[in-house]
Amino acid sequence: MANITAGMVKELREKTGAGMMDCKNALNEVEGDIEAAIDWLRKKGLAKAAKKAGRVAAEGLIGLAVSGTSGVVVEVNSETDFVARNDQFQALVRDIAKVALGAADDVEAVKAASYPAGGTVAEAVNNAVATIGEHMNLRRSKRLEVSAGVIGTYVHGSVGEGLGKIGVLVALESTGKTDELAALGRQIAMHVAAASPQALDAAGIDADVIARERAVLADKAKASGKPDNVVEKIVESGLKTYFKEVTLLEQPFVHDASKTVAQAVKESEGKVGAPIKLVAFARFALGEGVEKAESDFAAEVAAAAGV
């Protein structure tokens, strides 16, 4: 039998909202596998879908840059939040975003690209580490572009132009009025920041994720004694609901929940004066999926004071 620790129970409880004993039982049933325990709880009707984003633990800044019909979002991490307020660090993130606009859509390519002050981006980060005195890392980068249209942007928790805690890009393809497109792009980018969709549409959801969701829905329906033909209908209905929750085009628009994002885009074509296609989005939340050890701050202060 797997050794189930209090930390494992706590993690599962945070991810599912299930009771402590239910989490412990689930972990015992699946030999300590967190993801399998999430599914076990869901099959028993004791938990909602697993949260996809990890707790925000890393510090630093998200940076955005746009030029013409291209836009980029980058994440540069640091050890403490104090660094995010440092002018030198903020300038570094802004410059990295500008460099990423002209680099290949790959973080390693951005690191190898030439930095404005000389050397490469990777070397500039290392130089900042030496100057500021904290470990830093260019963690990821994503560039979007359209042949005609706009790249809508939104920064949440802004600490300066193009810098903040959450950064969103939205690519709108259209030959219509740029100002109207830009306004729509910002609204959709704000929606993405708030609703955190996993993909543009159902086709963008990983097949393994859909298979897992299907299995959970089927097991729950079978457990309630439904016949096979009814189970399949329940599963298909459940998947439709799931897609409405996690795909951008099907989500209720946060600015008007009476319509979906897709409907809002379609209705905007009159103002824009041309067809609009929402082709892609990118959402970076600072520290997303990165864990760091929790610490007892009071104990650290006491230790430093020799208490």
Residue 3: which residues within 8 A CB-CB, separation 6 or more?
Answer: 32
Residue 64: which residues within 8 A CB-CB, separation 6 or more?
Answer: 71, 72, 73, 97, 153, 155, 162, 163, 167, 169
Residues 159 and 105 in one domain: yes
CATH number reported for the structural domain that contains residue 19 in this entry: 1.10.8.10
Residue 221's pLDDT is what? 82
CA distances from 6 to 35, 47, 97, 239 (A): 16, 19, 41, 34
Task: Please indicate, yes or no, if residue 15 is contained in any of the structural domains.
Answer: yes
Torsion, Cα 65 66 70 74, to 10 degrees, reads 10
Residue 45's pLDDT is what? 74
Residues 3 and 94 in one domain: no
Residue 114's pLDDT is what? 96
Task: Please indicate, yes or no, if residue 301 is contained in any of the structural domains.
Answer: no
Residues 98 and 37 in one domain: no
CA dist 280 and 146 (Å) reads: 9
Task: Please indicate, yes or no, if residue 146 is contained in any of the structural domains.
Answer: yes
Residue 146's pLDDT is what? 97
Residues 64 and 47 in one domain: no
Residues 120 and 30 in one domain: no
Q: Which two tokens stand for residue 226?
A: 């439904």
CATH number reported for the structural domain that contains residue 103 in this entry: 3.30.479.20
Task: Please indicate, yes or no, if residue 154 is contained in any of the structural domains.
Answer: yes
Residues 162 and 266 in one domain: yes
Residue 290: which residues within 8 A CB-CB, separation 6 or more?
Answer: 54, 56, 57, 58, 77, 139
Residue 236's pLDDT is what? 86
Of the residues 16, 32, 51, which one is the last residue of a structural domain? 51
Residues 153 and 15 in one domain: no
Task: Please indicate, yes or no, if residue 115 is contained in any of the structural domains.
Answer: yes
What global pTM score does this model have?
0.74
Residues 150 and 76 in one domain: yes
Q: Which parts of the chain are beta strand (E)?
A: 59-67, 70-78, 136-145, 149-156, 163-164, 166-173, 252-253, 256-260, 277-285
Residue 226's pLDDT is what? 80
Region label for 223, one of left (φ > 0), alpha (ψ between -120 and 50) or beta (otherwise): alpha
Show the low-confidence residues of the chain (pLDDT under 70).
Answer: 1, 47-57, 290-307
Residues 42 and 169 in one domain: no
Task: Please indicate, yes or no, if residue 131 is contained in any of the structural domains.
Answer: yes
Residues 65 and 86 in one domain: yes
As beta bridge partners, residue 61 has 76
Task: Please indicate, yes or no, if residue 28 is contained in any of the structural domains.
Answer: yes
Residues 169 and 266 in one domain: yes
Residues 159 and 268 in one domain: yes
The closest alpha carbon to 152, from 249, 61, 212, 73, belongs to 73
Number of domains in the chain: 2
User: Domain range holding 133?
Assistant: 59-199+260-285
Task: Please indicate, yes or no, if residue 244 is contained in any of the structural domains.
Answer: no
